[in-house]
A and B are shown apart, each in its own frame.
Chain A
Amino acid sequence: MIELYESQRAMRNMRKAAMQRGVVAILDVGSSKIACLVLRFDGTDPSEDGIGSLAGQSGFRVIGAATTRSRGVRFGEIATMAETERAIRTAVQAAQKMAGIRVDHVIACFSGSDPRSYGLAGEVEVRGVTVDEQDVARVLSACDVPDFGHGREVLHAQPVNFALDHRSGLIDPRGQIGNGLSVDMHMLTVDAQAIQNLAHCVKRCDLELAGIASSAYASGISALVEDEQELGAACIDMGGGATGVSIFIKKHMIYADAVRMGGDHVTSDISMGLQVPMANAERIKTFYGGVVATGMDDREMIETGGETGDWEHDRRTVSRAELIGIMRPRVEEILEEVRARLDAAGFDHLPSRQIVLTGGASQIPGLDGLAAKILGQQVRLGRPLRVHGLPQAATGPGFASAVGLCLFAAHPQDEWWDFEIPVDRLPARSFRRAVKWFRDNW
C-alpha cells in the first residue's frame, strides 16, 4: 500500500511548499466551466488554539478569480487534453492577472471518473500502555484494503472513526490507555486515467499539482453548514456534466458518488426537443427554465430563435409549459438516480437526513420542491460559504466546489498519507543503505 501513496505524499510536500510561498491556485475543472481562484495565505493559522475566527476559514484570502468556458471536459472527466489544457491556461492566466502575482502550485478537483466509496476497518493490539503515533500508523495499515481493481487510484482515504476497546467515536486516540485499537476508514477511488490526465494538463501549464480532491467532497465542505456536517447530511452538487453526491457525518465524508448526468443533459434535451442550437437552448434554459408548470406558463410564449436561415423555423415560439415539460423528466431522472445512490449508501439510517442541493444546475426554479418529492422532506438549496475576498460573481452555487477546495487547501483533513509509516513497513533497503554509509564513512 505504501508505494501507492507516494504521489499523494509528494503532493502534500508540494502543498507545504506552496504554503511557504503563501500563494496557491484553486482549479475546479468542471464540465461547463473551469474556475480558478488564487489564494494568498497570510500566515495566521487559526487552528493553533482551537477554533479561531470564522470557524477556521480565516488565514487566507482570494486575490484572483476567473472562470472560462470549459471545452474538452465531459461528464466531469477530461475528454480532450489540448482543449482542457488551453482552458486551464486561460483561467489561470486571467486569475493571475487579477491577482498580479505568479502562481506555481495548484490544487485541483474534478467530479467525474466513476468514484467509488469503500468503508475499511482495521484492528490491532496496542503495543505500549498508551496509544502512540506508531499504533495509529499500524492500525491504519492493518485495514483490509478491498480489491478495487486495476487502473484505479485512491483519491481520499480518511480515518473516520477510532475505537479503543469498547469506546467508539474517538477522534484522536493518542495518549489514551487501552488494549485494542480499531479504525474505520473511508476510501474513495477513481479512475487512475483521470488523475493522470489532469496531472498532465496541469503540468503542461507549467504548474505543480499540490493536491487533488473530489469535487463532491469539496462542495460538501463549503455548502454544508457545520451542524449539518456533524449530524449527517448529503450534498448534491449538480454540475454541468456530472452530479456529485457526498454524505457527511461527524464532519467526515463517509460516502461519495457521482451520477453521470447534469445540466448539460437538460440543455441537450431542450436542444433536441425544440430543434434549436445548443447555445440557444442554454439561453432558453437559463432565462425561462423551470420544473413546475402552472397555468400561467401555458400562455407565456418563448421565441426560440435560430440561425438556420429558414424564417418559419427561426421564428417559432414555444410555451414555457412545453419547456418545463422537456426539462422536468430529465431533472427527475437525475434526482431519481441520486436517490438510488443515496439508498445504496444507506442514507436512510442517518440520524439527520438533510439534503443540500448546490452546483450550477441547482439554480432551476422550483428544484427544491421537486427534490423534496423525490429525495425526502429536508431539502434546501445551498450556496458556498463566504470566504475573504471572494468576488460577488463567484458566490453562486456553481462555485461551491471551488470555494470548498479553498477550505480544503487551507485546512486539509487528515488522510492516510498524513500519518506516520509504521516502522516494520519501512523499506529495509534504506536501512541497509544507511548502515552501509556508516560503514563506508566511519
Chain B
Amino acid sequence: MRPLGEDSAPQMARLDPRVSRLRYRLERLMLTPLFRFTLRVVLPMAISFGAVSAWFAVPENREGFVTMVEDVRLQVESRPEFQVKLMAIDGAAPGTAEDIRTILALDFPVSSFDLDLDGMQEAVIGLDAVRSARLRIRQGGVLQVDVVERIPAVLWRHEAGLDLLDEGGVLVGPAPARIDFPDLPVIAGESAELAVAEALALHAVAEPIRGRLRGLERMGARRWDVVLDRGQRILLPEAGAVQALERAIAMDQAVDMLARDVVAVDLRLPHRPTIRMTEKAAEAMRDFKAIEAGGVIGQ
C-alpha cells in the first residue's frame, strides 16, 4: 500500500487535533459575514465616534477646539503671501476713482481672505459713473480694479438741474454747466430720459442744422420737438420722427424754410406738413394775397 496523503498534505487540511467547543463556536462566529462586518467596520467606527463625542461633550474641550481652529485660521490668513497692500484702479476718471476708494473704504494691509470681492464688485458697479468693473487680487498683493466708465451721451435738463445720461439713458452724473459739454445734445421734457436712443438718432440726423439746434423736448412723454434758436420748433410725429426730421431739413435746404419767419414746422401729420408763421408774417402774407388778387392795400 502506498502512504496515505503524505505527499499531498499541503493541499488539504489533514488534522488530528482536538477543537474545543468554545474555539469552534468562536471560529464560526468569525466566519459569519455580518459579524465580521460589524467587527471590522461598525465597531471601530462606533468606538471612534463615541470617543470623539465624549471628548466634545465637555464644554472646555469644545471651546479649546474652536479656539485652536480660529488660531490656525488666523495664522494662515495673516501670512504675508495672503496680504493685500494696495489698490490699483484702471480705466476710471480721477473723480470716479476717488468715489471708488471712498465706497470700498479699505484700510490696507488686509488679508485676502477678508475681502468680499463679489460684494465689492457690486458696490463699485452701483456707482453711477461705472458701467462694469472687474476686481481681482494680483500677484504681489495688489487689489486690481478694472473699471469701464459710462460715457455721457446727452444732457438732461429737468426740475432738479442738469444731469449727464449715457446712450442707454442711465445717469452718469451731474453736469456743472451746459457750456462744459458743448457737443452733447440737451433733452428735456416729460420722460425724456426714457427715449435717449431716439434723441441721439435725431441729433445725428440734425447735422445740417446743428448750429441752430438748441435741444430736443419730449412732448407728453410720447413725441419729440426739435427746438431751434429764435423760438422755432419742429414738431415731430410719434412714429417715424427721424424721417420727418430729415424731411424738414430737406425742405429747409430746398426753400430755406427755417430762415424765414416761421414759428413752428408741424410734421405731426406726415401727409400734411403745416407751418405756423408769426403774426406779422401772416399779415404780410394776407396783404400779398390781396395784392395778387388785385385789391388795394389797406381797404
Number of interface residues of B (CB under 8 A): 25
Judge whether A287 and B1 touch: CB under 8 Å: yes
Judge whether B31 and A393 touch: CB under 8 Å: no
Q: Give Cα distance in the complex from A427 to B21, angstroms.
A: 42
Q: What string of 1s and 0s marks CB contacts (under 8 Å) between B23-42 and chain A? A: 11101100111000000000
Q: Give Cα distance in the complex from A357 to B246, angstroms.
A: 124
Task: State whether the Cβ of B16 lies closer than 8 Å to any Cβ in chain A.
Answer: yes
Taking the closest CB of chain A, its distance from the CB of B18, in whole angstroms, is 6
Taking the closest CB of chain B, its distance from the CB of A92, in whole angstroms, is 8
Our pick among A102, A288, A393, A398 for the contact of B12 (Cβ within 8 Å) is A393
Taking the closest CB of chain B, its distance from the CB of A280, in whole angstroms, is 14
Q: Give Cα distance in the complex from A68 to B23, angstroms.
A: 17
**With a CB–CB cut-off of 8 A, which chain B residues contact A100?**
31
Our pick among B4, B15, B31, B33 for the contact of A94 (Cβ within 8 Å) is B15
Cβ < 8 Å to B, chain A residues 73-128: 86, 89-98, 100-102
Our pick among B1, B4, B21, B31 for the contact of A102 (Cβ within 8 Å) is B31
* Interface SS of chain A: helix
Known: A286-B4, A396-B4. A206 touches B25 (CB 8 A): yes
Our pick among B1, B18, B19 for the contact of A286 (Cβ within 8 Å) is B1
Q: Give Cα distance in the complex from A90 to B5, angstroms.
A: 18
Judge whether B2 and A363 touch: CB under 8 Å: yes
Q: Give Cα distance in the complex from A65 to B32, angstroms.
A: 19
Known: A69-B16, A89-B21, A90-B19. A206 touches B9 (CB 8 A): no
Judge whether B12 and A86 touch: CB under 8 Å: no
Q: What string of 1s and 0s marks CB contacts (under 8 Å) between A271-287 and chain B? A: 00000000000000111
Judge whether B4 and A89 touch: CB under 8 Å: no
Task: State whether the Cβ of A365 lies closer than 8 Å to any Cβ in chain B.
Answer: yes
Taking the closest CB of chain A, its distance from the CB of B29, in whole angstroms, is 8
Known: A66-B12, A94-B13, A391-B8. A205 touches B24 (CB 8 A): yes
Taking the closest CB of chain B, its distance from the CB of A228, in whole angstroms, is 25
User: A102 — nearest CB in chain B belongs to which residue?
Assistant: B31
Q: Give Cα distance in the complex from A360 to B5, angstroms.
A: 12
Judge whether A96 and B28 touch: CB under 8 Å: yes
Our pick among B1, B5, B24 for the contact of A364 (Cβ within 8 Å) is B1
Taking the closest CB of chain B, its distance from the CB of A35, in whole angstroms, is 10
Judge whether A65 and B2 touch: CB under 8 Å: no
Task: State whether the Cβ of B75 lies closer than 8 Å to any Cβ in chain A.
Answer: no
User: B18 — nearest CB in chain A belongs to which residue?
Assistant: A86
**With a CB–CB cut-off of 8 A, which chain A residues contact B14?**
66-68, 393
Task: State whether the Cβ of A392 lies closer than 8 Å to any Cβ in chain B.
Answer: yes
Task: State whether the Cβ of B298 lies closer than 8 Å to any Cβ in chain A.
Answer: no
Taking the closest CB of chain A, its distance from the CB of B21, in whole angstroms, is 7
**With a CB–CB cut-off of 8 A, which chain A residues contact B33?**
102
Known: A363-B1, A393-B5. A86 touches B19 (CB 8 A): yes
**With a CB–CB cut-off of 8 A, which chain A residues contact B23?**
93
Our pick among B1, B11, B25, B32 for the contact of A391 (Cβ within 8 Å) is B11
Task: State whether the Cβ of A381 lies closer than 8 Å to any Cβ in chain B.
Answer: no
Q: Give Cα distance in the complex from A392 to B27, angstroms.
A: 26
User: B30 — nearest CB in chain A belongs to which residue?
Assistant: A102
Cβ < 8 Å to A, chain B residues 21-72: 21, 23-25, 27-28, 31-33
Q: Give Cα distance in the complex from A189 to B224, angstroms.
A: 120
Cβ < 8 Å to A, chain B residues 162-211: none
Our pick among A102, A288, A363 for the contact of B32 (Cβ within 8 Å) is A102
User: A98 — nearest CB in chain B belongs to which residue?
Assistant: B13
Task: State whether the Cβ of B17 lies closer than 8 Å to any Cβ in chain A.
Answer: yes
Q: Give Cα distance in the complex from A391 to B17, angstroms.
A: 21
**With a CB–CB cut-off of 8 A, which chain A residues contact B1?**
285-289, 363-365
Task: State whether the Cβ of B3 lies closer than 8 Å to any Cβ in chain A.
Answer: yes
Q: Give Cα distance in the complex from A64 to B207, angstroms.
A: 103
**With a CB–CB cut-off of 8 A, which chain B residues contact A398?**
4
Judge whether B15 and A102 touch: CB under 8 Å: no
Query: Which of A86, A91, A101 has most chain B Cβ within 10 Å?
Result: A86
Q: What string of 1s and 0s marks CB contacts (under 8 Å) between A44-79 and chain B? A: 000000000000000000000111110000000000
Q: Give Cα distance in the complex from A392 to B14, angstroms.
A: 13
Q: Give Cα distance in the complex from A83 to B15, angstroms.
A: 15
Judge whether A392 and B8 touch: CB under 8 Å: yes
User: B11 — nearest CB in chain A belongs to which residue?
Assistant: A391
Our pick among A93, A98, A286, A364 for the contact of B3 (Cβ within 8 Å) is A286
Judge whether B8 and A393 touch: CB under 8 Å: yes
Taking the closest CB of chain A, its distance from the CB of B172, in whole angstroms, is 80
Our pick among A206, A364, A365 for the contact of B28 (Cβ within 8 Å) is A206
Our pick among A65, A66, A89, A396 for the contact of B24 (Cβ within 8 Å) is A89
Q: Give Cα distance in the complex from A394 to B12, angstroms.
A: 8
Taking the closest CB of chain A, its distance from the CB of B144, in whole angstroms, is 65
Judge whether B19 and A93 touch: CB under 8 Å: yes
Seed contacts A90-B18, A95-B13, A286-B4; 8 additional CB < 8 Å A-B pairs: A96-B27, A96-B31, A100-B31, A102-B32, A102-B33, A206-B24, A287-B3, A289-B1
Subset of 13 A-B contacts with CB under 8 Å: A66-B13, A66-B15, A67-B15, A90-B16, A90-B19, A100-B31, A102-B32, A102-B33, A285-B1, A286-B3, A391-B12, A393-B14, A396-B4
Top-10 shortest CB links A-B: A102-B31, A393-B8, A94-B13, A393-B12, A66-B13, A391-B12, A90-B19, A286-B1, A391-B11, A89-B24
Q: Which A residues contact B (CB, under 8 angstroms)?
A: 65-69, 86, 89-98, 100-102, 205-206, 285-289, 360, 363-365, 391-394, 396, 398
